[in-house]
């Protein structure tokens, strides 16, 4: 079960959600202005990943209800993905402490005009908090010579 707060009406969301649909998973798309509902859905549905923008991660974290999320629900989330804006390193550390993200938090960078993700922090191993990580290795550059 994948939880995101985004529009699914542009090409980046189509490409983002396609793999989820192919494996037969469910996608929760919450109202980003209703963090009470988002937290209730997290508790009720127990998502396995949570993708969001930094502002919304912080809105969820700052909602008093977030402290009522049971540890086993947080343990079920194996991946947190943040993108679209910088996430201050200290805010990431505070979020990680409250939500027990350990090595489950990944920052990414991409543009609708190019690709959903062109860089990402590694899921495992050393990562530099507060950066967009390394280029993902999905294609090789081509040089055209005349």
Domains in the chain: boundaries:
2-135
Question: What is the pTM for the complete model shown?
Answer: 0.79
Of residues 69 and 115, the one with the higher pLDDT is 69
The two tokens of residue 98 are: 């409250």
* Three-state DSSP class for residue 50: strand
Q: Is the dihedral of CA 14, 20, 22, 27 positive or negative?
A: negative
Of residues 113 and 131, the one with the higher pLDDT is 131
* 63-79: pLDDT as tens digits: 999 999 999 999 999 98
Task: Give me the percent of the chain exceeding a pLDDT of 90.
Answer: 36
Residue 3 pLDDT level (bands cut at 50, 70, 90): low
Q: Which residue has the tokens 């990562």?
A: 127
Q: Is the pLDDT confidence value at 126 over 90? A: no
Q: Is the pLDDT confidence value at 8 over 50? A: no
Of residues 103 and 68, the one with the higher pLDDT is 68
Helix (H) or strand (E) holding 28: strand 27-29
Helix (H) or strand (E) holding 75: helix 71-76
Of 39-43, 63-67, 134-138, where does mean pLDDT reach its minimum?
134-138
pLDDT of residue 18: 66
Enter the DSSP assignment of 66. G
Burial (Cβ within 10 Å: 0-12, 13-18, ≥19) of residue 51: buried
Rounded-to-integer distance, Cα 58 and Cα 133, Å: 21
Q: What is the CATH number of domain 2-135?
A: 3.40.50.980
Q: How far, CA to CA in Å, does 58 sit from each of 54, 68, 93?
A: 6, 16, 12
Rounded-to-integer distance, Cα 41 and Cα 118, Å: 30
């Amino acid at each position: 079960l994948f939880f995101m707060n985004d529009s699914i009406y542009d090409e980046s969301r189509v490409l983002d959600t396609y793999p989820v649909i192919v494996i037969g998973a469910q996608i929760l798309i919450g109202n980003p202005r209703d963090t009470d509902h988002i937290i209730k859905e997290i508790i009720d549905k127990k998502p396995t990943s949570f993708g969001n923008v930094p502002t919304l991660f912080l809105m969820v974290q700052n909602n008093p209800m977030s402290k009522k999320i049971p540890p086993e629900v947080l343990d079920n989330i194996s991946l947190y993905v943040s993108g679209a804006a910088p996430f201050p390193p200290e805010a990431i550390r505070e979020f990680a402490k409250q939500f027990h993200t350990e090595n489950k938090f990944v920052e990414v960078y991409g543009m609708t005009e190019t690709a959903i993700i062109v860089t990402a922090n590694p899921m495992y191993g050393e990562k530099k908090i507060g950066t967009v990580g390394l280029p993902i290795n999905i294609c090789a550059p081509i040089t055209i010579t005349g």
